[in-house]
Amino acid sequence: MHAAILVALAAGAGAFAPAPALSHRAAPLSAEALKIGIVGGGTVGGGIVEILTHKQEQLTACAGGVGIEVKTVVVRDKSKERDWALPPGCTVTEDVDDVLDDADIDLVVEVAGGTTFAKDVVFGALKKRKDVVTANKALIAACLPEIEALLEDVNAEGEKVSFGFEAAVCGGIPIIHTLQTDFVGDSVTRLRGIMNGCTNWMLTKMEAEGVSYTDCLTEASALGYAEADPTLDVGGFDARSKLAIMIRLAFGVDVNEDDISCKGITNIKQVDFAYAKELLGGTIKLLGVAEMAAEGHELTAYVTPAFVPDGNTLAVIDDAINAVEITSENLQSSLLVGRGAGRFPTANSCVSDIVGCARKGLPEAFAKKTTDVTFMNDFSSQFYLRIQYRNEVGIVGNLGDICAKHDVSIYSLLQKPESDYFVLITEYGPRSNIKKVAAEVEGASWCVGDTFLMPVATKE
Amino acid sequence: MHAAILVALAAGAGAFAPAPALSHRAAPLSAEALKIGIVGGGTVGGGIVEILTHKQEQLTACAGGVGIEVKTVVVRDKSKERDWALPPGCTVTEDVDDVLDDADIDLVVEVAGGTTFAKDVVFGALKKRKDVVTANKALIAACLPEIEALLEDVNAEGEKVSFGFEAAVCGGIPIIHTLQTDFVGDSVTRLRGIMNGCTNWMLTKMEAEGVSYTDCLTEASALGYAEADPTLDVGGFDARSKLAIMIRLAFGVDVNEDDISCKGITNIKQVDFAYAKELLGGTIKLLGVAEMAAEGHELTAYVTPAFVPDGNTLAVIDDAINAVEITSENLQSSLLVGRGAGRFPTANSCVSDIVGCARKGLPEAFAKKTTDVTFMNDFSSQFYLRIQYRNEVGIVGNLGDICAKHDVSIYSLLQKPESDYFVLITEYGPRSNIKKVAAEVEGASWCVGDTFLMPVATKE
């Protein structure tokens, strides 16, 4: 295998300026290797070191002959035991300046997480004209325009600095590279997907085993599927951060993530699986959706549980898997499915970006940009409305009146025997109308507690 | 939108050497645009011209500020009416040398098809140190080692020449880029997928509507889903060419496509859908499969109809859609789904490669390379064997003896009332054994005609 790889190295040698191609063959690889500093020596950081160590030859070939050397790893506590082996010649330090101030380091990998220290690392490295690779979804979702402005500033002259963040969105799914490179000549009209593994695992289990939401969450946390603060998962906020980042890449539109309406899975009950299945056939998924209308001038986006009918591929994406569906002019419909999180899926995406930097081929980070788009909060769909009721005369008549008043047409209605709930499926119409219906129903004498509303996803 | 794009251009301007960044802002784009020649002005060629024309600003931004100009289009017959508009300043010619001999042309797009003229175009352009983008699956499957050797030769010194072929495999699915960039630090253990849209459309229709194979093929041809020679589709050969190319990228192994065992869908009957569904639950798909065993030293690959059980996502991929599933050490399981063919899906992939060349960021074409792998023809699986019979005493006993003789364990057996067929599902075991069973059964007095054998795909 060595001989074969060396042939490939020699062939691709011209990629890494400025040394002439022939010198690659004679000189040891380390002479012009890309030197990296990793900030964060935990789960993902350790995974990166392991992949870089074990796949060295293959990585060098894919980088066009450029070796990759981990020079420094910054950890919080040097005395803490690590589950990964230090590569030869690599230093472990607690001082991030050992990376930021080291002119020898070409690329900084930020896998520390958070938005304070990590922000200093990412911004500090870019300012020092180092390439940056990060897995930090929260930081990018919060600071994308700032990062973009800094990149523009740094890249206004001199050799280009690259910013890779494949690992920040949907872990092992190459959705960032795909949006950056495979839709350059296309116009995306809709993004839709299952963007959080923890909640998808929970919903799958709730439906298959009839387990309650609370018990599922306890188990998801024990299995490590939930974030340290599970509110980020079950509240839909983790999915929303990913959606906001993907919106920028797919549509070229900057959306403040807080402006995207966000509803989690906390109010889903067993009865919803049964009613929805009976009325329409299918299942419930937590979806992130962004859709362009008005010929590219109006964007709606939201995170919500949704009823996903049979025949929609998203309906069969189970467990802790993520899936992103892209609808576009040229490609029509594309779907990417994979692990959304985990040590090696995330580390693999970081390594892919590191190799992209080594071969100077990482795509433009935020090339698509559009400013003449209005962000619309309302959106249209069929909706599922679950209502808890107490028996009274005239409920259906009253409900019919309320729907008519707010211009909502009823597609179907189901009340199972011995259930405290009935469920209404609307015809296609604006969410604002059905929300008015829900609000008015909640004020009726026969309604108990809060109603539960979710859209019905289209099959296509 | 103009202002926004111009900001992005200025920011990314450093990417295209040798002009200094600031000159980008002042100079017109055409001054340093990438000049391309397109060989083939038909469906795909016209689609490329249309995308390049209509998405110009977006493409330039994604190419880091480099404009893309179609200088020349080579067509077979200049007098033939075209369904696409000629870009300003573009020449149409019937002489391919107007492209190959034009030192001004940086990149040649080959969308003429075939393996004779197209081979001259691709090899001629590479020899002249022009980047090449092609949609030609047949050429690459037939000549991959030759193309690789030429690239090595050309790239041994001087500025690197790029070779893009995203459009050659599964049209609009970015499987080539994904294998080239997102698995650089990973080890693929299995590739599996639906790699031919025509046959998937036919199988979907056969199952859903009970239409015969022959009627389906007639309709598929009329709808333009079939190749000019439909044998390439229904015989599995189109899928096999794609599989051979993907094997090289995923595993680094050169396999002669003729060495890959290939069975098409021509012998599938309605009864197979019914029997398979009843025995196992699921459907029938034409799959391309490649699997690595023996710690990366043994590879098996085959194209075959397969029973795909419910719960396997491939079971719900219907109509003319392609899907490729990649199993790997780091990412575990990834799935890419999309249009496998068609004007704009294919043209979109070409444009993505053109932009990759413009920004000098196209990945290494064939970086992964392994030579210590043995290609194995046999493989193990559960199998489905359909047998047509005439009534005799002792059939089951005789069949049991034949299976025992060849070390095949029976998992289940079904004979529906009033059917001329019965079906056997085996336990997991080598194909060579069940093929011996099939051969011996075909010699039995109670067997009518040929048996039909296909593997049962695993759920995961």
Structure tokens at A257: 């993530």
Q: How confident is the model at residue A294 (pLDDT cuts 50, 70, 90)?
A: confident
C-alpha–C-alpha distance, residues B132 and B126, integer Å: 7
Q: Which residue has better confidence, A193 or A341? A: A193
Q: DSSP 3-state helix, strand, coil percentages of chain A (rounded to 5)?
A: 40, 25, 35
Alpha-helical segments (H) within A107-174: 117-127, 137-154
- Provide the shortest C-alpha distance from residue A18 to chain B (in Å): 11
Interface contact A334-B52, CB threshold 8 A: no
**What is the pLDDT of chain A when averaged over all its residues?**
91
pTM: 0.91
C-alpha–C-alpha distance, residues A224 and B1, integer Å: 44
C-alpha angle A339-A343-A345 in degrees, rounded to nearest 5: 35
Interface contact A331-B344, CB threshold 8 A: yes
Least CB–CB distance from B174: residue in A59, A166, A182: A182
Interface contact A339-B331, CB threshold 8 A: yes
Q: How confident is the model at residue A356 (pLDDT cuts 50, 70, 90)?
A: very high
Give the percent of chain B with pLDDT over 90. 85
- Provide the shortest C-alpha distance from residue A447 to chain B (in Å): 39
Q: Which distant-in-sequence residues (6+ apart) come within 8 Å of A18 by Cβ?
A: none
Question: What does the pLDDT average to over B388-407?
Answer: 94
Using an 8 Å CB-CB cutoff, list chain B residues near A67. none
Question: Is A17 a residue whose pLDDT tops 80?
Answer: no
- Provide the shortest C-alpha distance from residue A184 to chain B (in Å): 6
Q: How confident is the model at residue A172 (pLDDT cuts 50, 70, 90)?
A: confident
Q: Give yes or no for a contact between A331 and A186, defined as CB atoms under 8 angstroms apart.
A: yes
Question: Is A5 a residue whose pLDDT tops 90?
Answer: no
Question: Is B15 a residue whose pLDDT tops 50?
Answer: no
Interface contact B332-A339, CB threshold 8 A: yes
Question: What does the pLDDT average to over B36-58?
Answer: 97
In DSSP terms, B452 is beta-bridged to: B386
Q: How confident is the model at residue B229 (pLDDT cuts 50, 70, 90)?
A: confident
Question: What does the pLDDT average to over B292-309?
Answer: 93
Nearest chain B residue to A310 by CA distance is: B316
Among B181, B295, B336, B352, most A C-beta atoms within 10 A, so best to mutate, is: B181
Question: What does the pLDDT average to over A195-204?
Answer: 96
State residue B5's pLDDT score: 33
C-alpha–C-alpha distance, residues B172 and A330, integer Å: 8
Q: Give yes or no for a contact between A161 and A129, defined as CB atoms under 8 angstroms apart.
A: yes
Distances (CA, A) of A204 to A199, A213, A323, B87, B333: 8, 11, 14, 52, 18
Question: Is B32 a residue whose pLDDT tops 60?
Answer: yes
State residue A204's pLDDT score: 97
State residue B371's pLDDT score: 85
Question: Is A452 a residue whose pLDDT tops 70?
Answer: yes
Q: Give yes or no for a contact between A169 and A139, defined as CB atoms under 8 angstroms apart.
A: no
- Give the lowest-confidence range in A358-362, A412-416, B17-21, B75-79: B17-21
Question: What does the pLDDT average to over B332-345?
Answer: 94
Task: Identify the three-state secondary structure at position A134.
Answer: strand
A82: phi then psi, degrees, rounded to nearest 5: -110, 150
Model ipTM value: 0.91
Question: Is B105 a residue whose pLDDT tops 50?
Answer: yes
State residue A77's pLDDT score: 95
Question: What does the pLDDT average to over A156-162?
Answer: 93
Question: Is A20 a residue whose pLDDT tops 80?
Answer: no
pLDDT tens-digit series, residues A235-267: 999 999 999 999 999 999 999 999 999 999 999
Q: Which distant-in-sequence residues (6+ apart) come within 8 Å of B456 by Cβ?
A: B280, B306, B307, B309, B381, B382, B383, B384, B425
State residue B203's pLDDT score: 97
Using an 8 Å CB-CB cutoff, list chain A residues near B316. 311, 313, 316
Least CB–CB distance from A372: residue in B1, B13, B178: B1
State residue B415's pLDDT score: 87
Element (H, E) at A21: helix A21-26
Burial class of residue B116 (count of CB atoms within 10 Å of its CB; 0-12, 13-18, 19+): exposed
Q: How confident is the model at residue A23 (pLDDT cuts 50, 70, 90)?
A: very low
Interface contact A333-B338, CB threshold 8 A: yes
pLDDT tens-digit series, residues B420-460: 999 999 999 999 999 999 999 999 999 999 999 999 999 88
Which residue type does B184 have? V
Interface contact A369-B334, CB threshold 8 A: no
Among B5, B147, B331, B459, most A C-beta atoms within 10 A, so best to mutate, is: B331
Sheet bearing A131-134, strands edge to edge: A91-93, A68-74, A34-39, A107-110, A131-134, A163-164
State residue B293's pLDDT score: 87
The sign of the CA dihedral B275, B277, B281, B282 is positive
State residue B20's pLDDT score: 32
In DSSP terms, A183 is beta-bridged to: none
Q: How confident is the model at residue A9 (pLDDT cuts 50, 70, 90)?
A: very low
State residue B340's pLDDT score: 87
C-alpha–C-alpha distance, residues A35 and A103, integer Å: 10
Question: Is A451 a residue whose pLDDT tops 60?
Answer: yes
State residue A364's pLDDT score: 93
Q: How confident is the model at residue A357 (pLDDT cuts 50, 70, 90)?
A: very high
Q: How confident is the model at residue B139 (pLDDT cuts 50, 70, 90)?
A: very high
Structure tokens at B187: 């080890």
| Beta carbons within 10 angstroms of residue B223's beta carbon | 11
Q: Hunting for tokens 């074409």 — which residue is that?
A: B365
Q: How confident is the model at residue A418 (pLDDT cuts 50, 70, 90)?
A: confident
Burial class of residue A42 (count of CB atoms within 10 Å of its CB; 0-12, 13-18, 19+): middle
C-alpha–C-alpha distance, residues B86 and B73, integer Å: 9
**Chain A to chain B, count of Cβ pairs less than 8 Å apart?**
281
Of the listed A130, A137, A242, A263, which one is catalytic? A242
SS3 readout for A233-263: HHCCHHHHHHHHHHHHHHHCCCCCHHHCEEC
Task: Identify the three-state secondary structure at position A434.
Answer: helix
C-alpha–C-alpha distance, residues A280 and A423, integer Å: 12
Question: What does the pLDDT average to over B348-376?
Answer: 95
Interface contact A364-B182, CB threshold 8 A: no
State residue B29's pLDDT score: 41
Least CB–CB distance from A58: residue in B160, B184, B339: B184
Q: How confident is the model at residue A425 (pLDDT cuts 50, 70, 90)?
A: very high
State residue A421's pLDDT score: 95
- Provide the shortest C-alpha distance from residue B233 to chain A (in Å): 21
C-alpha–C-alpha distance, residues A429 and A98, integer Å: 58
Q: Give yes or no for a contact between B303 and B243, defined as CB atoms under 8 angstroms apart.
A: yes
Nearest chain B residue to A370 by CA distance is: B1
Structure tokens at B365: 């074409």
- Provide the shortest C-alpha distance from residue A60 to chain B (in Å): 9
Question: What does the pLDDT average to over B44-73?
Answer: 97
First to last CA, chain A: 46
Distant-in-sequence contacts of A438-443, Cβ < 8 A, 24+ apart:
A438/A385, A440/A402, A440/A405, A440/A406, A441/A385, A441/A387, A441/A399, A441/A402
Using an 8 Å CB-CB cutoff, list chain A residues near B372. 1
Q: How confident is the model at residue A460 (pLDDT cuts 50, 70, 90)?
A: confident
